[in-house]
Amino acid sequence: MTQPKKLFIKTYGCQMNVYDSERMSEALGGEGYVTTDRPDDADMILLNTCHIRERAAEKVYSELGRYKSLKAEKPDLKIGVAGCVAQAEGEEIMRRQPMVDLVVGPQSYHRLPELAARAGAGAKALDTEFPEEDKFAHLAARPKAARGPTAFLTVQEGCDKFCAFCVVPYTRGAEVSRPADRVIAEAHDLVKRGVREITLLGQNVNAYHGHEGGLAGLIHALAEIDGLLRIRFTTSHPNDMDDALIAAHGECEKLMPYLHLPVQAGSDRILKRMNRQHTAEEYVRLIERLRAARPDLHLSGDFIVGFPEETEEDFQATLDLIDEVRYGSAFSFKYSTRPGTPAAERDQLSEEVKDERLQRLQALLVKHQRAAQDAMVGREVGVLFEKPGRFAGQMVGKSDHLHAVHVAADGIAPGDLRRVRIVESGPNSLMGELVTL
């Protein structure tokens, strides 16, 4: 009997890469690979990379360097690089690291079995094209193994916005949407395998147009699936938040009261330089409409500090916007250059200025995050339990608002959705007790 080959995948970056890694694993599963969590036990190592963060490519080269001795010990070991760094660097990866056997961009991973076969035959395999065919339509059907209670589901890819700081349009390509019938079929399959909450993914997920009703229409269609208890979506662009999607937050019971809506800056001058194509005032008015539709909406955002030419006045405008919106959570970063993007060619701020501003911004965000968590004490929320906690008899799950909630109670299993009263607010999570009905 032939022994299965073992695949180790290391995933960098966003939820879309997590989803992509799952699908790459499934694609190679049809070729006899099974996953392992040990690189030294693998027949193939695949790095699924992200190009968003600082020095992303150098981190990949550093990681590859760690596998040189392993490759020397196991000459038949195949090493691949996938994802956005693969798309951006292409042949340069193989030039700098000759031990790499295959390089595949994020739009071509449905071709992994063919590339792996070529690598297995001793040839170098490179595919960073933007193929015309729909990669999702060419992927093998997902295996029927049981799943945990939550899952990601990519519905949209690419970006047409061309923000001055971002490489996504160059690494993921133009905006494309998966047909609604295929998304709904995949959702049905996930629910049959135990999934109770689905997060719809896209670089600009609210630009989805695979359903005649847009993303709102898709959400309403998914809400009809028996056994699917919760729906979320991320990441959105303010300019694609249409009336129907705003209304869905108040109309669709299964759509959770959580929204990640990046703004990046609070200064109109910087927003224009970023090519965000909206003003701070337009963003704030949009938030008001969303909160009118769903008053308990938990808001999350992204912020970049130290963008080229950002003045102290510009930065203060960002702090003022944060105070006005009162985010329940947020992600914040120092600006770092991305070769090939317009902002990379502009005058850069010093690292000292960036560091100081980031500390001030994060302190303000933490203040609002703590206030939002503390305000949950005494409230009842739904909690979808996912796994045991650190202590015996404890389970951990996510609230409607995506807070981690710890509950000490017997008889709770992963996938249970229960009403919980919040009794304590911790630094990064909440404590609750089951509500007896």
Banded pLDDT at 350 (limits 50, 70, 90): very high
Q: pLDDT tens digit string along 211-253?
A: 999 999 999 999 999 999 999 999 999 999 999 999 999 999 9
Q: pLDDT tens digit string along 370-412?
A: 999 999 999 999 999 999 988 888 999 999 999 999 999 888 9
166 annotated as belonging to a binding site for a ligand: yes
Fold of 5-127: Rossmann fold (3.40.50)
- Per-chain mean pLDDT for the chain: 91
Describe the crossing of helices 312-325 and 351-374 by its angle, rounded to 10 degrees. Answer: 10
Q: pLDDT tens digit string along 192-204?
A: 999 999 999 999 9
50 annotated as belonging to a binding site for a ligand: yes
Q: Please provide the DSSP assignment of 103-161 as one string.
A: EE-TT-GGGHHHHHHHHHTT--EEE----SS-HHHHSPPPP-----SEEEEE-EE--S-
163 annotated as belonging to a binding site for a ligand: yes
Average pLDDT over residues 342-363: 95
- Does residue 105 have a pLDDT over 90? no
Report the pLDDT value the prediction gives residue 312, as an integer from 0 to 100.
98
Q: What is the CA radius of gyration of the chain?
A: 23
Banded pLDDT at 53 (limits 50, 70, 90): low
Note the CATH architecture for domain 380-434: Beta Barrel (2.40)
Report domain extents, the chain.
Answer: 5-127, 135-304, 380-434
User: Matching CATH topology for 135-304 and 380-434?
Assistant: no
Q: Are 308 and 348 in contact (CB under 8 A)?
A: yes
Q: 135-304 domain in CATH 3.40.50.2000?
A: no
